[in-house]
Chain A
Amino acid sequence: MKWQNVKLIFNRELRDQLRDRRTLFTVAIMPMVLYPLMGMAMLQVAQFMREYPTKIWVVGMENLPEHPSLFVDGQVNLEYVSETDQQLIDVQVFHHDAQTESVIRQLREQTDPTEGTGNVNELIQQEMQKRGVDVTVVIPAPITNPALPDRRSKNLDQSDDDSEQSAAVETQPYSNQTVYVFQNSASDKSRLGAERLNGGLMKWKIGMVRENLTANDVPISMVQGVTLTNADVADKSGKQAAAWSKILPFIIMIWSLTGAFYPAIDLCAGEKERGTFETLLSSPAARSEIAIGKLLTVISFSMATSLLNLLSMGFTGMFVVSRLGAGMPGGLPMGAPPLSCIGWLLLALIPISALFSAVALAAAAFARSSKEGQYYLVPLMMISMPLMMIPMLPAAELDLGTSLIPVSGLMLMLRGLIEGQYAQCIKFAGPVCGVTLVCCWLSIRWVVRQFNSETVLFRASERFGVGVWLKFIMQERHELPSLGNAMLCFVVILVAKFFIGFVVQTPDSFAMFTKQTVIILIATMAVPAVMMALVLTRNARKSLRLRSCTLPMASAAILAAIFLNPLFTWFAALVMQIYPPTGDLVMMEQTVSNILTSAPGLWAIILVFAAAPAVIEELAFRGFILSGLQSLRSKWQAILISAVLFGIAHGVIQQTLITTVVGFLLGIIAIQTRSIIPCMLFHLTHNSLAVLLSSAKASVVENSFLLRQLLHSTNGESYQYSIAPGILMSAIGVLLMAWFIRLDATPTMNRENAGLTRLIARMFPPKSQA
């Protein structure tokens, strides 16, 4: 790759994009205009909230006590609301009509105010709409100040009540002294009005209670009880960081994707459309140079868009917050984001932009026209949105699991860094950076691959029909699965596992457990792998590596599994120590071990835990998937990827780590022996040993000289390999693996093929063809 050419192409594309009005608009103008406009709108809303007058309709005002008075001269008493609110609350009283009478009657009949007001709601809503009011206050029955029984005569208020009312109070043990406030929560104005009024009503109520108590010579402390006080220990900068740490990474991500997309379309699909692509392709610049030059341009725009949006939003936000916060005591929990936060964002922006730019460019390279390119934006967003949303969930935390999710892991780490949890972040910096870099590398490789592919660059539009397409796939299939086929198989396995997870019930017997395990294995792995091998490849047997192997290979596989077992056991113990099994896993293990007690014998357990997975998992992973991955140039790359996929398919982090290592060794055996049988034997032996070791009983071990030398127990229950023999065994195991690696990988004619060739030669001797 000549960097001189890359630089030339980058400079040209950058200048070209800057001369394009559309790009400039989305990258620069839009954010600079959009956020101030949004800020202005927010201020407007806030102003509306502050200044909009509320119309309230009071029904039954005559039922309110004269003292303490809620309303004075047709306005809310200044004791209970601020002067501005008093001005803004417009109290209206209408003459009673049939509807209002009916409302009052119904509410009066209600003996328990907690029952709700469902029966009058509709009527009230109609009336409110008719009269154009925001809030309705109904006082259906007279509100009286209660008095302690022996002091009733002393009560001043009670003295001028007429006899009828006092009779009503006496006959009803629980009088309906309720003030009903009706609001329409579907209307902002109504909600706002009710909010304004409720504060005043609450103060009025307290005032009334206070007066009652004083009138009855009861000290206020009698009803005060204990005071509850909440205190927030977070300091101001901590609160600000928490608020910013959720918003800013999201803004950065979403805009770096959007900012990458439009230039990417213009640089690929747009050039194809304008016919300049072929001009560039016929210049000495190599495809990879063109791809990288364009990629760098897209990255620049992605970063610029993201930064401009961030800046514009930051300034607008600070302005709006200062304006809004001015009226509030203590201000809003937001201010300028801390400086370190900006630094982290800038650092994270580079890989994020690179990743999104590469993905966008690869997608855009596929598009024939800008219009087609636009169609790819939505699926791209749909895929990346959940990844961006996961870290926004309150429960999401950076751990080994989440740190391995692309984008999400980085976002979580960014959040942690902004909040200043450096210790937690450093712990997972390795996996996060690793995953991010691998994703970047893969997506850049994808772009270069797209640019090197004629079918992508010179894609002609064709009529599409499912039938024709299937026929095409059948025609075009190769002897072995392609890389895409392999990945498809893996995705199908994952999706099948996910859905079957919904259907599966917790097993209650060994028979049910066996049935479930085998059905899951067959449905999620055997069926996809075998079906795909039959449909997508010409040679299903070869794709699944179904061929015989020599005796030395088979025995070496079994021996390798036996001798490497101590090493695996120690590795598993190490993994369990680093990532102690969490609740779910412990419970799962508990259930399984409970069920195993009802197993008919050790052979049954081995059949379910060792034999079934050994056969089926090998068919899928070392058979179909590894065959597909072998179209990669390096066999080690194929082995590594198949191992990682094998690990991921196991789902739980502890198992993933362990099975990835096992998968790597199995991959070596599969490729070197070119047969699935040694893999199955290795897998079977490995799993059987795990079952046997976990169920090793003292009586068996102590009676055998060999086992006594090999195993020891610290607690008398479970056995472990002793160090010295374990190391010796592992060494032999490693040697056996070395033997596999040194196996001649060139095709050796196996017996049946040799026989077939001889047969064909005899049937069609060369002479007869001449």
Chain B
Amino acid sequence: MIHVRQLTKTYKEIQSGPFTALDGISFDAMPGQIYGLLGPNGAGKTTALRILSTVLKPTSGTAIVNGFDVNLAPEQVRRQIGFVSTNTAIYDRMTAWEMIYYFGQLYGMELDKLRKRMELLFERFQMNEIRNVLCSKMSTGMKQKVSIVRAMVHNPPVLIFDEATSGLDILVAREVLNTVEQLCDQGKCVIFSSHIMSEVKRLCDRIAVMNRGHILAEGTIEELAQEHQEQDLEELFYQMISKSEQQHEAVLQKA
């Protein structure tokens, strides 16, 4: 469903010279599976997901999303995915209904189908009471709901959640996690990035631990636990990251 191969992204920075945000990462995510990207801030998760959603272009390497190459057919790729991230806000001066209707139209949905789908989603997410409320008047949780419905409106085979629970209270966060689970059960391919262990542990079928643009380890949680002889995921994560940091510092000192 999603095949990432040798994905690299470098930024030109005036101050510090070229900065490699992603250094040739590769992974595969399958339908009906939640694939977790786990890593500290600045690990390159957001860059990777931005490339998958074709907001950014890779410097080299490629990713195939549901059969479409991000380099060759970015528009087709965008039709295959629903993208929710901390950076995908909603329009302040639109109501929930208008916002989602607009995006449904951009996805090229027939208006009848779109309305039916929206009724269904508004019902399911209990959003009928905020239907005609301007987004600027909504709470953070409501906004996130609108964002998620916006990403789901065209019923995409792939959903990408980039730190989708950050800044939400426990109730809303749990609701988001439930939704993600349901989507997976419907056979969608879900990519879920987070730095919260409990979420990852609960949801993800496979995870990739990232730091400084590299994937340090990849596999199911059990596989990782066995490989590194550590049952506690948080401890495992901490060990991996600190080891990687030490290596990085050693390289820097040599240089």
Interface residues of A (CB under 8 A from B): 4-5, 8-9, 12, 16, 19-20, 274-276, 278-279, 281-286, 454-455, 458, 462-464, 468-469, 472, 475-476
Give chain B residues whose Cβ lies under 8 Å from the Cβ of A464. Answer: 14
Is there a chain A Cβ closer than 8 Å to B125's Cβ? no
Cα–Cα, bound, A278→B88 (Å): 5
Say how far A272's CB is from chain B's closest CB, in angstroms: 10
Selected contact of B75 from candidates A9, A286, A463, CB within 8 Å:
A286
14 CB contacts below 8 A, A to B, read: A8-B106, A19-B93, A20-B93, A274-B89, A276-B90, A279-B147, A281-B55, A282-B81, A284-B79, A284-B108, A286-B75, A472-B12, A472-B14, A476-B12
Give chain A residues whose Cβ lies under 8 Å from the Cβ of B169. Answer: none
Interface residues of B (CB under 8 A from A): 12-15, 17, 50, 53-57, 75, 78-79, 81, 83, 85, 87-94, 102-103, 105-108, 147, 150
Give chain A residues whose Cβ lies under 8 Å from the Cβ of B53. Answer: 282
**Which residue of chain B lies nearest to A455 when distances are taken between CB atoms in the complex?**
B12
Tell me whether A5 and B106 are in contact in the complex, defined as CB-CB below 8 angstroms, given that A276-B91, A278-B55, A284-B79 are known contacts.
yes
Give chain B residues whose Cβ lies under 8 Å from the Cβ of A9. Answer: 106
Cα–Cα, bound, A4→B55 (Å): 21
Give chain A residues whose Cβ lies under 8 Å from the Cβ of B106. Answer: 5, 8-9, 283-285
Q: Across the interface, do B55 and A282 meet the contact criterion of CB distance under 8 Å?
A: yes
Cα–Cα, bound, A276→B57 (Å): 19
Q: Across the interface, do A454 and B56 meet the contact criterion of CB distance under 8 Å?
A: yes
Tell me whether A284 and B88 are in contact in the complex, defined as CB-CB below 8 angstroms, given that A455-B12, A469-B14 are known contacts.
no
Say how far B79's CB is from chain A's closest CB, in angstroms: 5
Say how far A692's CB is from chain B's closest CB, in angstroms: 53
Q: Across the interface, do B55 and A468 meet the contact criterion of CB distance under 8 Å?
A: no
Q: Across the interface, do B14 and A462 meet the contact criterion of CB distance under 8 Å?
A: yes
Give chain A residues whose Cβ lies under 8 Å from the Cβ of B91. Answer: 12, 16, 274, 276
Give chain B residues whose Cβ lies under 8 Å from the Cβ of A475. Answer: 17
Give chain B residues whose Cβ lies under 8 Å from the Cβ of A16. Answer: 91, 93-94
Say how far A279's CB is from chain B's closest CB, in angstroms: 4
Cα–Cα, bound, A283→B91 (Å): 14
Selected contact of A278 from candidates B13, B75, B81, B85, CB within 8 Å:
B85
Q: Across the interface, do B94 and A8 meet the contact criterion of CB distance under 8 Å?
A: no
Q: Across the interface, do A283 and B12 meet the contact criterion of CB distance under 8 Å?
A: no
Give chain A residues whose Cβ lies under 8 Å from the Cβ of B108. Answer: 4, 284
Say how far B73's CB is from chain A's closest CB, in angstroms: 11
Tell me whether A12 and B102 are in contact in the complex, defined as CB-CB below 8 angstroms, given that A20-B93, A282-B54, A284-B107 are known contacts.
yes
Give chain A residues whose Cβ lies under 8 Å from the Cβ of B79. Answer: 284
Q: Across the interface, do B78 and A284 meet the contact criterion of CB distance under 8 Å?
A: yes
Give chain B residues whose Cβ lies under 8 Å from the Cβ of A283. Answer: 78, 103, 106-107
Cα–Cα, bound, A704→B88 (Å): 82
Q: Across the interface, do B57 and A454 meet the contact criterion of CB distance under 8 Å?
A: yes
Q: Across the interface, do A284 and B57 meet the contact criterion of CB distance under 8 Å?
A: no
Say how far B64's CB is from chain A's closest CB, in angstroms: 18
Say how far A744's CB is from chain B's closest CB, in angstroms: 30
Say how far B26's CB is from chain A's closest CB, in angstroms: 22
Q: Across the interface, do B89 and A275 meet the contact criterion of CB distance under 8 Å?
A: yes
Give chain A residues whose Cβ lies under 8 Å from the Cβ of B102. Answer: 8, 12
Tell me whether A468 and B87 are in contact in the complex, defined as CB-CB below 8 angstroms, given that A283-B106, A284-B75, A454-B57 are known contacts.
no
Q: Across the interface, do B88 and A275 meet the contact criterion of CB distance under 8 Å?
A: yes
Q: Across the interface, do A462 and B90 meet the contact criterion of CB distance under 8 Å?
A: no
**Which residue of chain A lies nearest to B134 when distances are taken between CB atoms in the complex?**
A19
Give chain B residues whose Cβ lies under 8 Å from the Cβ of A284. Answer: 75, 78-79, 106-108
Cα–Cα, bound, A274→B93 (Å): 11
Selected contact of A462 from candidates B13, B57, B75, CB within 8 Å:
B13
Give chain A residues whose Cβ lies under 8 Å from the Cβ of B89. Answer: 274-276, 278-279
Cα–Cα, bound, A16→B90 (Å): 12
- Choose among A9, A16, A282, A284 the residue with the greatest number of B CB atoms under 10 Å from its CB: A282
Cα–Cα, bound, A462→B150 (Å): 33
Give chain A residues whose Cβ lies under 8 Å from the Cβ of B88. Answer: 275-276, 278-279, 282
Q: With A8-B102, A12-B94, A283-B107 given, can you name 10 additional A-B contacts, CB distance below 8 Å?
A: A8-B106, A274-B89, A281-B55, A282-B53, A282-B81, A283-B103, A284-B107, A454-B57, A468-B14, A469-B14
